[in-house]
């Protein structure tokens, strides 16, 4: 699947659409999900144009992957949920239920997240 430069997260990255920013560095942006499913629900996205986890894991540089992984952990610690715990989720493709075609990781926390998979 080719990257769609008009997807909603691309438009957040280029400043067309505002977001409730939680964290930013030269490789990564994180913001609150506008439809939170738990007290903490943050989306972490790489600034590079990657459609999904599949694309990112295959095509991102080692530096991008390292920066992204470090940022996710740092954001969770900064949000104060590392001790109580949290869940990371990367919906990938149609069967994964991915809606926005720019790679992102959800961080859920601040309360028990519940069963791993429902339905
Ligand atoms: P998914 O692609 O299924 O992993 O989820 C996309 C997530 O992006 C959903 O949880 C949406 O609530 C969230 N979302 C979509 N548009 C925005 C936006 N403009 N600002 C914040 N969150 C968004």
CATH number at 31 reads 3.30.428.10
Q: Which domain, by its residues, includes 35?
A: 8-109
Average pLDDT, the chain: 97
Q: Specify if 117 maps to a domain.
A: no
pLDDT tens digits, residue range 30-39?
Answer: 999 999 999 9
Distance 26 CA to ligand 1 centre (A): 22
Q: Give the binding-site residues of ligand 1, using a 6 Å CB cut-off.
A: 8, 17, 19, 33-35, 43, 91, 97-100
**pTM > 0.85:** yes
pLDDT tens digits, residue range 90-99?
Answer: 999 999 999 9
Smallest CA-to-CA distance from 43 within 71, 16, 1 is with 71
The CA distances from residue 35 to 70, 85, 107, 119, in Å, are 25, 21, 13, 20
Q: Specify if 24 maps to a domain.
A: yes
Contact predicate 62/68, CB 8 Å:
no
Ligand 1 atom nearest residue 91's Cα: 4
Q: Specify if 118 maps to a domain.
A: no
Smallest CA-to-CA distance from 58 within 85, 92, 20, 98 is with 92
pLDDT tens digits, residue range 9-55?
Answer: 999 999 999 999 999 999 999 999 999 999 999 999 999 999 999 99
Q: What span, in angstroms and rounded, lies between the C-alpha atoms of 115 and 107?
A: 15
Total domains, the chain = 1
């Amino acid at each position: 699947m080719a990257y769609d430069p008009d997807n909603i997260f691309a438009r957040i990255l280029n400043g067309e659409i505002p977001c409730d920013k939680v964290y930013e560095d030269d490789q990564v942006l994180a913001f609150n999900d506008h439809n939170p499913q738990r007290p903490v629900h943050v989306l972490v996205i790489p600034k590079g144009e990657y459609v999904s986890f599949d694309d990112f894991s295959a095509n991102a540089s080692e530096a991008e992957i390292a920066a992204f992984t470090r940022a996710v952990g740092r954001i969770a610690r900064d949000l104060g949920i590392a001790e109580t715990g949290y869940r990371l989720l990367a919906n990938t493709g149609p069967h994964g239920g991915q809606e926005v075609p720019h790679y992102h990781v959800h961080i859920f926390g601040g309360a028990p997240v519940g069963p791993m998979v429902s339905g």
